[in-house]
Amino acid sequence: MTRSRLLSLLAALAVTACAQSAVLELQVELPAAPSGDPEPWFAQVQVRRSSAAFDATWAGPGPRAIQLGSEPQWDCISVQSDDESVDLNVRVRFCRSIDCEGLGDDMRPERRYSLERPFYLGRRTYWATSIDRVPECTTDEDCALGACLPNGRCGCTTDADCCPDGGCACPGGQCYACVAEGCVQQVDRCRIQGCVVGGSPSRFCTEDDRHFCEAGADDRPEAYMCTLPD
């Protein structure tokens, strides 16, 4: 069964709400559960303004956690705002309890993202990412991103841990920063999709560095489609 992300199906996080708002359609591909682990794993996608620190607990309502299965699955959230100037922090928490509030869940691995100015009033924008595995580890080789920390989480002590091959070319390319022992992917606003009908541009800004949504391009109205978990 598929559906676009709607409040009636899975609660969206409303940063603010008003008659004319901007909407970011956020899509995260969650990994399969680690093989051979008899205990369940869950994932919870949290979204906050960039003033929320990654080394702090993010209080307040958020989407329910989703149990990881034998195959990857997509999770979609519609985020609303009436402020075009805000940046967003996104964290994907991996935990062992269904509410991510169990013993030790505050120390579980997570993936982190910082999105630059993803909102445009009256417009809908899109950003998607894929996580290939739960970022727990015993050696550095277990980490798709970062290095293995003594607590068994993939993380970092310097920016170089997040880009061991020197591949963090920003602005323009993939870019990471080490924040509170976690690699944070820095997503440039020109990599936020939106206001394009047809084609597959790699950059969503004009030559004078205006986002297509600022330049009056056509809007793409639909939300992402996700599979409802059983």
Cα atoms in the 13 Å half-sphere on the side-chain side of 109:
26
pLDDT digits (tens, 9 = 90+) for 56-113: 988 776 677 899 999 999 998 989 999 999 999 999 999 998 888 888 777 889 999 9
Residue with tokens 């992917």: 185
* pLDDT for the residue numbered 114: 96
Tally of CB atoms within 10 A around 36 = 5
* pLDDT for the residue numbered 6: 34
* Euclidean distance between CA atoms 105 and 96, whole angstroms: 7
C-alpha distances out from residue 164 to 13, 110, 205, Å: 34, 19, 29
Number of domains in the chain: 1
User: Tokens in use for 24?
Assistant: 């970011």
Domain holding 216, by residue range, is 2-227
The model carries a pTM of: 0.86
Is the pLDDT confidence value at 186 over 60?
yes
C-alpha distances out from residue 51 to 25, 108, 127, Å: 21, 22, 20
User: Tokens in use for 23?
Assistant: 């909407």
* Euclidean distance between CA atoms 191 and 211, whole angstroms: 9
Is the pLDDT confidence value at 140 over 80?
yes
Strands (E), 50-179: 66-67, 73-81, 88-95, 110-115, 124-130, 147-148, 154-155, 176-179
With bands split at pLDDT 50, 70 and 90, how would you rate the model's confidence at 160?
confident
* pLDDT for the residue numbered 128: 93
With bands split at pLDDT 50, 70 and 90, how would you rate the model's confidence at 46?
very high
pLDDT digits (tens, 9 = 90+) for 203-229: 899 888 899 998 776 666 666 666 544
| Phi-psi label, residue 126: left if phi above 0, alpha if psi -120 to 50, beta otherwise | beta
